[in-house]
Amino acid sequence: MDHVGASAKYDEVLIAAEYPQNKEAELFAEYWLPKYPMHIVKQGVVKIKISGKDITPPAIDSIQFRGDNTIEVKVTDGGDIKTVTARIIRQYELEKVIDVQLKDDGTNGDRTPNDHVFSMHIPDQKFAIYRIVVEAIDASGNRAGKEGNGWFVGH
């Protein structure tokens, strides 16, 4: 309609797990309707009644293994993250597994506290290639798991 190949764009709303039950949340919304050569823009306040139990698992966004043997995992959730663990598995020696609890407290390889990037510096190991599998559990007990893309080199 507008000759620019535009696509739909949207934002997702994240409601805190602690948000009071049966209370309305007010959000600002805007949408565009096509009308050549311009658009009609509509906007206003949308009220949504919040109810139910938090059953949404945490979102594990990225898994990285830096050259200094620090694993970093970006995790987001509407509530508090209870635990984030990583299982580091050696490529040709599957019985050689390193299990670590990742932290977001600014210590032991974590650069910045409370930034939703959970990290841990892994003690020096034998030079090898590893798989990394991560599990995150939120305060409501919802679990998410994800395997890192590809192989990671550790030493």
Rounding to the nearest 10 degrees, give the CA dihedral for residues 10, 12, 13, 16.
Answer: -170
- pLDDT of 44 strictly over 60: yes
Determine which helix (DSSP H) or strand (DSSP E) holds 50, and give its type and residue range: strand 38-50
Q: Are residues 127 and 104 in the same domain?
A: yes
Split at pLDDT 50, 70, 90, the class of 2 is low
Closest C-alpha among 44, 60, 43, 49 to residue 15: 49
Q: Are residues 46 and 82 in the same domain?
A: no
> Mapping DSSP to helix (H, G, I), strand (E, B) and coil, where does residue 22 land?
coil
- pLDDT of 28 strictly over 60: yes
Q: Are residues 82 and 107 in the same domain?
A: yes
- pLDDT of 3 strictly over 80: no
Q: What is the pTM of this model?
A: 0.79
What are φ and ψ of residue 108, in 5° steps? 50, 50
Q: Are residues 28 and 79 in the same domain?
A: no
Count of the separate structural domains present in the chain: 2
- pLDDT of 4 strictly over 90: no
Split at pLDDT 50, 70, 90, the class of 1 is low
Q: Are residues 122 and 143 in the same domain?
A: yes
Q: Are residues 3 and 42 in the same domain?
A: yes
Per-residue confidence (pLDDT) for residue 6, from 0 to 100: 65
81-97 average pLDDT score:
92
Split at pLDDT 50, 70, 90, the class of 46 is very high
pLDDT digits 0-9 by tens, 65-79 = 998 999 999 999 989
- pLDDT of 146 strictly over 90: yes
Q: Which domain holds residue 8?
A: 1-52
- pLDDT of 20 strictly over 70: yes
